Each structure stands twice: as C-alpha cells, then as structure tokens.
Structure 1
Amino acid sequence: MTSLTRRQALSVAATLIAGAALQGCSTTSTDNGSGTKAITFLTFETPNLTPAYWDAAIKRVTDKNPDIKVTKLVAPTADGRTDYAKQLLQSGQFPDVMIAVSPAGFAEAGNLYAWQPEELKDFVYPTANPIKGKYFQLPANTQTIPPVYYNKKMFADAGITAPPTNWSELLDACVKLKASGVTPFVAGGGKDTFASSMILSGIVSVDVYGKTPDWLTQRRADKVKFSDPDFTAALAKFAELAQKGYIAKSDVSRDYAATEQAFLDGKGAMYPMGNWFAANADAKHPFDIGVFNFPTADGRLVVPAYTGGGMIVSAKAQNLDAAKRFALAFQLDKAQLDASVKADGLIPAIKGYTPPADTGAVYKAGYDLYQQAVSQNAVVHAFRWETADDGLLPGMANKVDAAAQDLITGRKTAAEAATYLDTEWAKAS
C-alpha cells in the first residue's frame, strides 16, 4: 500500500468491503434454490498467513461442506482485526465468522454465539477464556508469547556461550552484543503496534504474572493498579533497555513484516516474538536461529502463553448453523492443523493432535520449551494477549502499545506510563 495515501487506502478498502458485504448479504439461506448457505469470514494476512494460505484453508472446508459458500473479508492490518470487526458491526456488516478477533465487548453485547460443551469436546482447554461463564471463542491454538529468537553467530562472535537464563545474564549479553557493534534487540511498531510491546509483554508476564498469576483479574476488580510497584518496575526494566541503546528508538516506525525481515537481515541479535515466527525462521533460516524462554529475574521457569485465538461466530448470522459448521470444521481439520503449524508455528490445542514429523528445528525447539513448562506447571498468561474475563478491557491493548512506544522513544518515564495506563483503564471502564 505504499503507493497510496492513507485516505486513498481507506477509501479503496471501504469500496471493496461494501462490495463483499453486498455479495454476502445478497444470498439468503438458499442460493437460487440450490440449498447453498452463504457466510462471510473475516481473516487477516501476515508474512506467514498469505492469501493463498487462507484460500486453501477455506477450500478444504467447503470441499467437505459443499452447501457452504464463503465470502472472505480481510482486515486492513494484521493487528487491527478486532477494531475492524467493530467498524463492520457499526456499519451493519458484522461478519458471520471471524478468526483471532477478541470476543470482549462483542460477547457482552449479545453479538456472539456461545459455544456449547458438546461442541468443545475435542479441545484440550474447553473452558479457556470465559466471559461471564460462557465460551464464545474456540480455544483452538496455544501460542507462547514471547520466546526470544536469537542469531547464534552474533552471540558466538560477541563471546556469549549460552542463551541467558535470568535477567542479569540477559543484560550481560546485551552489553557484549553492543560492544561487538550489534544492536541487541529487534523491535517494531508502525501500523502493527503490537510489535512495540512484545518485549514489555514478556517482562510483565514473567515478573508480574510469575509472582501474581491472576494480576489482571485483580486489576479488573480494582485490587491492583498499573502504578503499583511491581508493574511500574516492569515498565522501568523495559525503559532501561531503550535508554541503554539495546532497542533502537527508530524501530517503532517499522511495521511487523519489516520488523521480522530486519531480524532475518541481521539487523539485531534477538527477536522476542510470538512462536508464530518459528514458521518463517524454519522456512527462510538465513542463519542459525536459536530460541530461549524469556528470562525471569531469578532464573525460575515461567513461560507466557495464550490459548484461544480461534473462531468466533455472530449470534445473528443469517445462516448460523452453516457458520458454526464452518468454524468447527476449519479448526478441527487435520490438514488445516498441520498447515497452521507449518505456516504460522501454532501449537494446536486439539485432543490427540501431534505436530508433523517434518516440522523445522526452530519450531521443535520452541515446542519442547512449551511442553517442558506445561510439565512443570510453569505456564502463565501472556500479558496484553489475554481475552475474556481475565483480559485487558476492550481498547486497552492499543494503550499498552502506545505506552511501550513512549518508553522506547523516551517520551514517558515508567511512572508516567503507569499513570497513563491507569487513566486509560478508568476511561475504558
């Protein structure tokens, strides 16, 4: 979209969406008497999840369910899919099925279908992400957010003989990397603001949640605040990385795709990112890439993860049964699960599922780290990525990203960022 102005891009997007919506709405429960059920499906695209990936996934389902006709809608940005769904709802074009869209706000307003226990029997964590005791999003995948991917050659050249296991060792690695002429961390931002807060997500998850696993639930009950010492200390640790030049201030202007490419181009030694990066790490591997758990202060094992991210279905879908069938068929199809592993590095949370034997070395390393954490009961929520009753209030994820960018650029101190988050939380409440 670099050749279009933002206003032009939005205008074009609106035109395309309107056309797609009309196509979806023009078909009732039958199509010319053929019995075809028309549904709309909101997706998003990333360097891993290309148009071809989504088209193939849709085709696998519709080949087995020929009575379902799918009109694909695509969010303008990878990280803006929830906001985009809100826009479509407000304009009367709410999609029938959506993937990786937060149910918060939509569910409480009665816009989403609540999945029944029998429909969730094949999922490992059927009670993940409850909203007032009901389950609106299929708990399809687990994602570790964030492990730290690193350039093994840069580590070796800087004299780092092993990946860090605690915060002190991580800072020591940063010192050595910077002394060798290498920027320690690759971060991002731009239109994909989550890339700015990925490191902060790791710090809060292992430091704050590692000590108080239900911290965000307590925040919803006003028992804790962002300005409390533990959370402010996490903000300060993040700010320190930028202050010492371990994160470049200019990184916040780089979108997600460019951020990933920057790491693959060797513009930094460490890339904290969700485990979905493993897919491209294995596919492209321009150098030897390792992975380690985000380090805690004392070296204790704490692994942030999120299980969910699956389909949500509009409660008011004209062809509700078809929408539900499509969503379940999409999420439970073995070929689709294998494709999601290879294309997006996901860990399917489906009973009896095991990843394909030919998955790459980076994915396997991350998968093993997660399984080790599961066996030791060391998994906590991934801050900023939670949904439902134990997640951020609607709209707050963007505020966390904004605070992270301000900490990287030095526009806010840790105390100021904490106050800002408390203020925005009060507004969101």
Structure 2
Amino acid sequence: MRKRALLSAVALSTALALSGCAAGASDGGSAKGGSTVTLTFLTFETPNLTAKYWDDAIARASAKVPGVTIKKLVAPSADPGAYAKQLAASGQLPDIMASVSPNGFAQAGQLASWTDAELTDFVSPHSNPINGKIYQLPYNTQPIPLVYYNKADFAQAGITGPPKTYAELLDDSSKLKADGITPFVVGGGGKDTWADMYPLIAAVGADTYKADPNWLAEKAAGKAKFTDPAFTKAVAKISDLAKKGYIDTAGLSRSYADTEQAFRDNKGAMYPMGSWFAASADARKPSFDIGVFPWPTDDGSLAVPAYTGGGPVVSSKAPDVDLAKKWALAFTLDKTSSDVSVKTDASIIAIKGYTPPTEVGPVYAQTVDLYQQAVKQNAIVNSFSVETGDGSMPAGLAGKTASGVADLISGKTNADHFSAFLDNEWAKATQ
C-alpha cells in the first residue's frame, strides 16, 4: 500500500549505482559450477523497518545460502511497488523484491511462481493466487487498517468506550470536536500520498466488502463499477467526515512519520492505520494509553480488513532463479528475522509453528486479539487496494486512488466524481 514519487531515468540509474552489496561473496555470475552469483534485492525503509533491520536480516539469510552476494536496493519511499515498476520499464527489475505486489508483473511473465513444495511452511500457502499460481511468499498477516485511539481523549469527551456502530462513531466524533479535540489524524504529504488511504480502505471494508466480499473481483470482471452505490456509499462517508471537520485537512501535508508523530503528540483522538503502528506505539509510548477498534459497520457487526502476503517475489530473469528463490525462502523463514519483524513492525507471522516473542507490548497484544476475534467470527474481509491476486487493482491504480482521496478529504471533489475518476483510470490501466 505504500506509494512513492516518480523518479527520472537519471535518478533511477543513480539509485542503482549508489546501492551497495549488503552481504555475501564477491561479484560474480551464476552460482552453478561453484562460482558466486550477485542478486539485487529491493527493500524499503520506514520508521519501523530501518536500514539495520534489512542489513541484519540479509546477513542472516546469506549465511544460510553460500555463494550469493546480495546487492541491496532501497526504494525512495515506504512502498517499493511503483519503484519496481519504473525499474522494470528501464530493464532493471531487481532479482528479489520485498513487499512488491505481483499484480501486473506476474501477468507479464516477469516473476517466478512458487511451487507447493516451496510453500509447505506457510499457514495460508495459496493466498492471493494469480491465474492459479502463487508469486509472493505469504509470510505476514496485517489488518489494514484498524483504528488506534487515545483513551484519555475519549474519557475527556465523556466517551466510555470505542464505538460499535458507524452512528456511534459519528456521535463520538461530534463529542470530541465539541470538546476541542480533532477526531481523526490523517496524513499523506510529499512522497507519502499512500498514507491518506486508510479511512477509505476501512469504509470500503465495512460497507462494500462486508456486503460482498468479491466486489473488486466483480469490478475486474466488468460486473460492477466504482460509481455503483455499493462503493460510493463508503466514499461518501469519508467526504462527510471531512466536511464535518472530523478530519484535519491541514494534516494532509504531513509525511507518514509526521502523521504518526502528530497522533503521538495528541493532535487528534483517532488514527486509522495499518497494524504495523502497534509496534511503534509499544516501542515509543506516548503520554496516553492507546486502544484499538475496528472501523464500525452500520449494524455493528464485525469486519476487519486484512492482508496475508508481504513476502519476497523473485524475478523470472534473475541470473539464477533457483538460487534466488532459495535465498528468498531463507530470508523469509528465519526465526530471528520474524521475531524482529514482530517487535519492530507488529507482524502477525503466518508461518506454521511460529511462536512470537513473549515480550510483546500491550498495543500489539490488543491488535492480535482483535484480529483473532475476526478470524473466529469469519469477519475478515479484503483490504481495498492492497489485494494482489486475481481481481485486484491494476498496477499503479492504488497510487492514483490515494491522490484522489486527498482531493476527496480536502473538498476538491465529491464521492460521485471520485468514483467516476476511478472507473476511468481503471479503464485506461486495462486497455
């Protein structure tokens, strides 16, 4: 879900030139015959997933797969997908890519698929298939989003607990605003336009996907439109929140990191964000207690958008595809790396037999409990625009959706125009 600004061809070349070898032996060709192979690995950095996180994980995986040199590439923002698309257009698609949606790349024959034998260690080995094949290792589950909230703000406004229905959410927002508290913290400035998407993703999950879990696949099949009431109802809710002053529109200029800090600094009571925020909340505790709840449905039934995937994808043109897959599996299945991912990015690891560290924090524990409740109640729905399998959004459309959401929140467009814009952009992307 995480997007980035476009770079020029010169910038792409510069980025590649500046990327260094993170682990392994000296540069070489194929590892076959005893020689070494150099494989490029595209990563991204966030306040949670730092350069050290990647370097340490790369070193551990490389120690398990001799004969490999990993040349680490770093995407210029927190979602490497758009950057990978640019690299592919210039003939520089990395050999291994972390958290890149396979949609578009797989259909173009640019990725190697995973076999059932290679997927035996995963809880959900057939998550997000494309034409019956799996292209991304399904190692991590993330609810995207949940609503993290300031318990002290709620108490100050006379709110005794999180809302159960959407009407209660509106009532709570009204009480917060009346007490001088901004209800929602939302950002999305600069290269982090993706960060404004979470209220919409939540509303689509609670309204559109709760009623019809296969709605986006139906859109892909030409059986539904964004301009249909099933979708525009959710869009209108976000527009309405902004019009009522429940979303601080000035916050749209904030970067992802600044938006997170704004919530931590008590600039608003509720923060719709992916579950990875739980790690930050536990590691850098603010002055108030944080709770978590799912975006409410109209009738109060539970709906939690979630995505299982996030693991590496491997280029079908890697200098040694088998070795690249072996290294990607070693990277993904490393217990220490999974433990670090839990602690630093609140990952819900989807590997068989995995046990998380015992010292997880209270916000992470609440997040996992809420996810498990949704699993038990069969209340998991897809996360709009995060899907990567059959019927998912065309490559690049999520970024345009994020730009449209900014206009929706700022009042530059309305629900009908925004939905028509998405239909038009989908048509252009699939011509």
Q: TM-score, normalised by structure 2?
A: 0.94
Q: What is the RMSD of the two structures over their aligned residues, measured on CA atoms?
A: 2.1
Counterparts of residues 149-228 of structure 1 (less than 5 Å): 149-190=148-189, 191-228=191-228
Question: Structure 1 CA distance, aligned partners of 2:26 and 2:231?
Answer: 47
Aligned twin of 2:57: 57
| 2:15 paired with 1:16 | yes
Aligned twin of 1:140: 139
Which residues of structure 2 form unaligned runs of 5+? Answer: none
Aligned twin of 1:263: 263
Question: Structure 2 CA distance, aligned partners of 1:247 and 1:294?
Answer: 15
Counterparts of residues 226-237 of structure 1 (less than 5 Å): 226-237=226-237
Counterparts of residues 395-406 of structure 1 (less than 5 Å): 395-406=396-407
Aligned twin of 1:325: 326
Give yes or no for contact 1:39–1:322 (8 Å, CA) kept in 2.
Answer: no
Structure 1 SS opposite 2:138: coil
1:52-111 per-position Cα deviation (integer Å, ceiling 9, x unaligned): 1111111111122232211100001113x1111112112222111001111111111111
- Give 1:126 deviation, angstroms: 0.8
Question: Structure 2 CA distance, aligned partners of 1:250 and 1:280?
Answer: 24
Give yes or no for contact 1:38–1:319 (8 Å, CA) kept in 2.
Answer: no
Aligned twin of 1:417: 418
Give yes or no for contact 1:129–1:390 (8 Å, CA) kept in 2.
Answer: no
Counterparts of residues 327-346 of structure 1 (less than 5 Å): 327-346=328-347
Residue identity in the other structure for 1:412? T
Counterparts of residues 14-163 of structure 1 (less than 5 Å): 14-20=13-19, 27-30=28-31, 35-79=35-79, 81-163=80-162
Residue identity in the other structure for 1:348? I
Aligned twin of 1:292: 293
- Give 1:253 deviation, angstroms: 1.4
- Give 1:144 deviation, angstroms: 0.1
1:233-280 per-position Cα deviation (integer Å, ceiling 9, x unaligned): 111111000001111112221111111111111111100100000000
Residue identity in the other structure for 1:142? T
Aligned twin of 1:3: none
1:270-326 per-position Cα deviation (integer Å, ceiling 9, x unaligned): 001000000000001112111111111110011110011111000110022221111
Question: Structure 2 CA distance, aligned partners of 1:88 and 1:229?
Answer: 38
1:356-391 per-position Cα deviation (integer Å, ceiling 9, x unaligned): 111110000000110111111111101111112131
Question: Structure 2 CA distance, aligned partners of 1:196 and 1:155?
Answer: 23
Aligned twin of 1:362: 363
Structure 2 SS opposite 1:153: helix
Give yes or no for contact 1:13–1:76 (8 Å, CA) kept in 2.
Answer: no
Q: Structure 1's 9 and 180: CA in aligned 2 closer, same or farther, altered over 3 A?
A: farther
Structure 1 SS opposite 2:211: coil
Question: Structure 2 CA distance, aligned partners of 1:281 and 1:10?
Answer: 38
Q: Structure 1's 93 and 30: CA in aligned 2 closer, same or farther, altered over 3 A?
A: same
Residue identity in the other structure for 1:411? K
- Give 1:16 deviation, angstroms: 3.5
Structure 2 SS opposite 1:210: helix
Question: Structure 2 CA distance, aligned partners of 1:370 and 1:48?
Answer: 21
- Deviating beyond 6 angstroms after TM superposition, the runs of 4 or more aligned structure 1 residues are 6-10, 21-25
Residue identity in the other structure for 1:251? G
Give yes or no for contact 1:148–1:292 (8 Å, CA) kept in 2.
Answer: yes
Aligned twin of 1:389: 390
Q: Structure 1's 205 and 322: CA in aligned 2 closer, same or farther, altered over 3 A?
A: same
- The alignment-based identity, stated in percent, is 55
Question: Structure 2 CA distance, aligned partners of 1:8 and 1:105?
Answer: 20
Structure 1 SS opposite 2:313: strand
Question: Structure 2 CA distance, aligned partners of 1:367 and 1:226?
Answer: 32
Q: Structure 1's 217 and 249: CA in aligned 2 closer, same or farther, altered over 3 A?
A: same
Q: Structure 1's 318 and 9: CA in aligned 2 closer, same or farther, altered over 3 A?
A: closer
Counterparts of residues 238-249 of structure 1 (less than 5 Å): 238-249=238-249
Which residues of structure 1 form unaligned runs of 5+? Answer: 1-5
- Give 1:36 deviation, angstroms: 2.5
Question: Structure 1 CA distance, aligned partners of 2:353 and 2:369?
Answer: 17
Point out the more displaced range, 82-91 or 304-313.
82-91
Structure 1 SS opposite 2:97: strand
Give yes or no for contact 1:236–1:414 (8 Å, CA) kept in 2.
Answer: yes
Question: Structure 1 CA distance, aligned partners of 2:20 and 2:369?
Answer: 43
Count residues with an aligned counterpart. Answer: 422
Point out the more displaced range, 353-362 or 39-48.
353-362
Point out the more displaced range, 405-414 or 13-22.
13-22
Structure 2 SS opposite 1:130: coil
Question: Structure 2 CA distance, aligned partners of 1:338 and 1:297?
Answer: 37
Give yes or no for contact 1:21–1:93 (8 Å, CA) kept in 2.
Answer: no
Residue identity in the other structure for 2:246? Y
